[in-house]
Amino acid sequence: MRINAAIVGDLEALMEEEVAAAETAVTTAMQESSEGLKAELRAQVTGSGLGERLAKTWRGQVYPQQKKSISAAALVWTKAPELVDAFDKGAVIRSSAGFFLAIPTPAAGPVRGGGYQKRLTPGSWERRTGMRLRFVYRRGGISLLVADNARLDKKGRAKANTGRRGGATFTRLANRNTSIIFWLVPQARLRKRLDVKKAGDAWQARVPSLILRNWR
């Protein structure tokens, strides 16, 4: 018995089609894994109670951009790496000056014009409000920075206990209050809330099956 075999069609064209299919499969798989990992990391942040703003700092990009490639790669990163790293590993935070770490209370109000790289400090609070802070040392307990002659507005934020009458500024001493603006602690420990490596490893393991699924 003799068996003859022959290639039917244009071999070069068939190989080009297969390469194009491979480029599409790999690039699509990288896009899906990038979006999937980004979504999972964002869900980790919001699920841990760290808020939408920190969650949205996660970004994803596939390279090369706007081009299909059999060597396509995906990169997922955060625009707040120091903060994410602290919650990913757990960290002990100490004052850079070597003294107390000032933690703002609700009476301090929000940070204005700040992101995750900007924080409210005693100095910035004094400049913003025009009020002076007074140090209260408590032996064996948490020390404080307080504002004297203050009042709390409807949102619970400390304001200067002053008003205007006849164009002149006066102080309402009858309603004066001392408000705690900052707690002062030697250090603070952040517990681990995120697991970035686990999510990354899981999506990396899915890449081969994603490539096969998208290979037409």
pLDDT cut 70: percent of the chain above it: 84
Rounded to 5 degrees, φ, ψ at 6 are: -150, 150
Q: Could you give the 3-state DSSP secondary structure of residue 111?
A: coil
Q: Which of 2-6, 52-56, 119-123 has the lowest mean pLDDT?
A: 2-6
Backbone dihedral region for residue 212 (phi beyond 0: left; psi -120 to 50: alpha; all else: beta): alpha
Q: What CA–CA distance (Å, rounded) separates 37 from 98?
A: 38
DSSP letter at 65? Answer: T
What are the distances in angstroms from CA 74 to CA 11, 35, 41, 56? 32, 9, 15, 18
pLDDT of residue 187: 77
pLDDT digits (tens, 9 = 90+) for 133-177: 999 988 878 899 999 988 888 888 888 877 555 544 444 555 568
**160 close to 130: Cβ distance less than 8 angstroms:** yes
Mean pLDDT of 15-28: 92
pLDDT of residue 151: 83
Q: How confident is the model at residue 117 (pLDDT cuts 50, 70, 90)?
A: very low
